[in-house]
Structure 1
Amino acid sequence: MITPETWDFPPPPSTLVSDSVSVEDASCFIKTHHFNSLVSVTLPDCVQVPEHIKTLLTADCEFYQVKQLPLAELVKPDFVNAFVKRGKLLALSSNARCDVEDSFMFSKEGNLKLSVQPETYQTLGLEGQTISSKTSTTHVITINVGDACFLSSKKHYDRVSSRLQSTGLAFDTILMWTPHDDRVCPSSIAEYFQTRAGLQVKLCAPQSTTVHKYSTRIPDLNSNKPDQVLEWIGALALDCDMDKIDIDSTCSDMELPSTVILWNGLYSSHQIHIVFQSLVAFIKDRPSVPWVSMNVQGFFNTTSCPGQQHYTVIIDHQLECTIHKVTCR
C-alpha cells in the first residue's frame, strides 16, 4: 500500500484586497473588527521602542477563561442588567470550530450569536439563518440580549431562556467586560460567575514578544507589490533570514534595524484603535522611519465572518494609510 503524502496539501485559497484610505477611514474600519487575537506592530529603522508602545496591549488587558459556561447564564435578567446594560461584553467559545462544531460569540452591542450544527438547531427550535458550503451546513441564530424588549415578562424571552436551559448548551469561553462606569472593576464579571453561577474562572494575561533585526533592507512601498511588502512583514515577525526576501529597498545600499512587537490575547476594537492612534503619533515624531504597520488577526472560530480574515494597516509619512485585507476560506 502506498503511503499518502498527508503533509503535501496546497495552501487554502485566499484573497487579498488593498485600499488606500485616510487616517479617519482606517479608524472607522478598525472599529468594525471586534474580536482580535493576534496583533503585531512593525517599526522599520527602529530599535529603541517607546515603553508606552511596548505595553499598549499588555497593561490592563487581562481577560478571563470560563470553563463550560452555560449560555442560559448570559440571558438571565440579573446578568443582563449588571453586565450587558452597564458595560461592553466580548465573549466567544474558545475550543470550537464554527464550521463543524457548535460555537457562539457575544458582541459588545449585546448580540448573542450561535453557530450550530443541524442536530442542535432542530433541538433548540429557535429561528436562524442557514449557511451551506460544499462540506458542511451550519445555522446561525442571533439573539439581541441588549434589546429593551428582551424582558423576562415577554414571550420571546421566555422561549429563548427555556430552550437554552433545556438543551444545556455550554462552552469553554474567553471573555472580557468593560464597564461604562470607571469606578466599577472589570473583574466583577469573574466574581459573578464564580459566586453566583459556581463556575470555574481563570484570569489570563496577554503574551508579548519582541523581535529585533539589526540589518534589514526596508521595502519601498512604491516599488514593491503589496504581497511582497506583506511577505517581508511576515518574515520579520517570524524572525526569518531576511536576506532571502527579495524586495526593492528604500535605501538600496544600506541595511537598517527593524523591530516587531507581537501581542496575543483577547482584544476589542477599542484597544486596537488605541494602538493605531499611537502609531500615527509615532511616525509623526520620527522623520527617519519610512513607514509603520499593524497586522491584526481575529479568531478562526468566530461566526462574525465567513472566512478567516486578518488585515494589515500601513501608515506612511504623509499619514496616508493602506489597508490590506486577507481572507482565507
Structure 2
Amino acid sequence: MSSRTFLHCETSSLLQHNNRLCAHLEQQPFNYKVTVLLPDCGCVPAQLDTALKSFQSFYLVRKLPLYELLDKHLSQGGVCGLSYKTHIEEDNCAFLKPNGHLCLSLDKDSYERLGIEGKACKPKSSRYVVVVDLTDSSMAPGGRGYQRLISGLTSRLPLKMDFLLAPHSGGRDALELLLSRYDWSQHMPEVSSRLLTDLTCPAPLTSDLHSYDPLSFLEWLGAVQADISRANAADSFLSSLACPQESVASSPSSFLLSARGLLLPENVTTLIQQLRHFLERPHSPPWAALTVYGFADNLYAHERNFYTLMLFPDHAYSLHLATPAS
C-alpha cells in the first residue's frame, strides 16, 4: 500500500437492510482480481469454486472506434468496459460504466477537438474528463446531445482503442452485432486456488475494529497473498519485510482462491453471497477475507484502488477501503 493512502473502515451486518455494502461495491466498477482467504479450511468449498467459475466471459475488441459505444443496445443493453493498455496520465482513455455513463480521459488538444463540455482533472491540469450519460433522453439517436457527440467522435476526434468489454445482467446479446464488425477474442477469468499449510494468523479477529489493527492486518494479508514468508526477520537492509505480530496457532490447512480478468461488481456480489452461505455451515472457518483489486489506470483509481471485506459467521462484516491521497 502506498505511504500516501487513506484507509477507511466500517462495520455492519449483512442482515441490516440499510447497510452500504452494495453501494461501496458499485463505486469500483472495473476490477482485475479478487482473492478469498479461508483459514482453517480442509478443502476448497465447491460452491465457492462454482461461483468463481461462473463469472462472465469478457472480450478484447481491437481498434474499436469510440462512436460505437453510443449504440443504445450497448449502453442500455447491459455492456460495460474500458480501454485496454492505456495509461491514465499519458493516453486518451475511455470507460463505459455499468450505469450507461461514458467517461473519457483526454489530453488538452483532444479535449478541445472533441468540443464536449468536461472538466480538468485537477486545477491547472493538462488533462480533462468528459462524462456523458448515454441513457439520457438527449442521447437517443437524433437527439441534440447524441448528434454533437457522434459528430465529435467521427469527424473532429475519431478515436480508436483496444477495448475490454463485458456483458452484465443479461447483456450478452447486445455484443453480437458489434463483434461481427471487428477483430475480437473471448476470454474467461483465470481461476486458481493455493493450499497454505501451517498458516499463522493475527488474533483475535472479530467485526469489532477495536479487536485488531486494520492496517497491520492488511499488511499481513498482503504478505499471505504475495506468498511472502511471515517469518522474515527485519535484519536485512535491502530485502527484509517485518510482518505484523501473529498470535494464533497455525492451522493445518488454509486456502487462497483467486480470479483474474475483467470482473464486475455483480461478480463480487455473487461471491459474497456464496461466502455468506458457506460461513453459516457448522465447523466453518471463523472468518473469511475477500480482497478486490481495481484497474490502476482508470478514472476511479484516485477514489478507490482496492478494498478488503472481512466476513464472519454471524453475518457481521468489516470493510476496509484504501483510497489514494489526492
- Normalised by the length of structure 1, the TM-score is 0.85
* Equivalent residue, structure 2, for 1:259: 255
Let me know the Cα RMSD of the aligned residues: 2.2
Specify which of 196, 213, 216 is matched with residue 225 of structure 1: 213
Maintained 8 Å contact 1:224/1:248: no
2:270 is aligned to: 274
State yes or no: 1:55 paired with 2:60.
Answer: no
Contact 2:293 2:306 in 1 (8 A): yes
User: Post-superposition shift, 1:27?
Assistant: 3.5
Aligned length: 305
* Cα deviation, residue 255, structure 1: 3.8
Q: Is 1:18 paired with 2:9? A: yes
- Whether 2:115 is the aligned partner of 1:125: answer yes
| Matching of residue 194 in structure 1 with residue 179 in structure 2 | yes
The residue correspondences of 1:11-160 to structure 2 (distance < 5 A) are 11=2, 13-23=4-14, 24=16, 25=19, 26-75=21-70, 79-80=71-72, 82-85=73-76, 87-132=77-122, 136-160=125-149
Report the counterpart of residue 5 of structure 1 in structure 2: none
Question: Deviation at 1:242?
Answer: 3.2
Instruction: Tell me whether 1:238 sits opposite 2:226 in the alignment.
Output: yes
Q: How far did residue 57 of structure 1 move?
A: 2.6
Q: Aligned in 2, Cα 1:125/1:104: closer, same or farther, shift over 3 Å?
A: same
Secondary structure at 2:137 match in 1: coil
Relative distance call for 1:256 and 1:247 in structure 2 (3 A) is: farther
Give the direction of change, closer, same or farther, for the CA distance of 1:153–1:224 in structure 2 (3 Å limit): closer
In structure 2, the residue matched to 1:204 is 187
The whole-number CA distance in structure 1 between the counterparts of 2:260 and 2:102 is: 24
What is the rounded CA distance, in whole Å, between the counterparts of 2:199 and 2:145 in structure 1?
60
Aligned partners of 1:288 and 1:249: how far apart in 2? 20
Aligned partner (choices 309, 316, 323) of residue 320 of structure 1: 316
Q: Which runs of 4+ in 1 moved over 4 A?
A: none
**Superposed displacement of residue 305, structure 1:** 4.5
Identity, in percent, stands at 25
Q: Deviations over 1:48-87 (max 9, x none)?
A: 1112212323335210001111111112xxx31x3333x3
1:249 pairs with 240, 247, 250, which one?
247
Match of 2:299 in 1: 303
Distance 1:27 1:190 in 2: 26
> Does residue 201 of structure 2 align to residue 215 of structure 1?
no
Where structure 2 has 5 or more consecutive residues not aligned to the other structure, the ranges are 233-242
Q: Which amino acid aligns with 2:8?
A: V
**Deviation string, structure 1 residues 140-173 (Cα, Å, up to 9, x no partner):** 1111112233123222221111111011111111
In structure 2, relative to structure 1, the CA distance for the partners of 1:152 and 1:190 (3 Å cut) is: closer
In structure 1, the gaps of 5 or more residues are 1-9
Work out the CA distance in 2 between the residues paired with 1:318 and 1:189: 40
Residue 40 (structure 1) shift: 0.3
Report deviation, 1:288. 4.7
Please state how far the C-alpha of 1:265 moved relative to its aligned partner.
Answer: 0.7
Conserved 8 A contact 1:216-1:242: no
Select 1:172's aligned residue among 155, 159, 162.
162
Q: In 1, are the aligned partners of 2:60 and 2:163 still within 8 Å (CA)?
A: yes
Letter in 1 for 2:218: L
Distance 1:42 1:265, change over 3 A: same
Counterpart of 2:238 in structure 1 is: none
User: How many Å separate the matches in 2 of 1:159 and 1:153?
Assistant: 10
Equivalent residues of 2:225, 2:256 under 8 A apart: yes
Whether the aligned pair in 1 keeps the contact of 2:307 and 2:321 (CA below 8 Å) is yes
Distance 2:316 2:80 in 1: 31
Relative to structure 1, is the Cα distance of residues 209 and 90 closer, same or farther in structure 2, using a 3 angstrom cutoff?
same
Which SS does the other structure have where 1:149 is aligned? helix
CA distance in 2, matches of 1:35, 1:297: 9
What is the Cα deviation at residue 307 of structure 1? 4.7
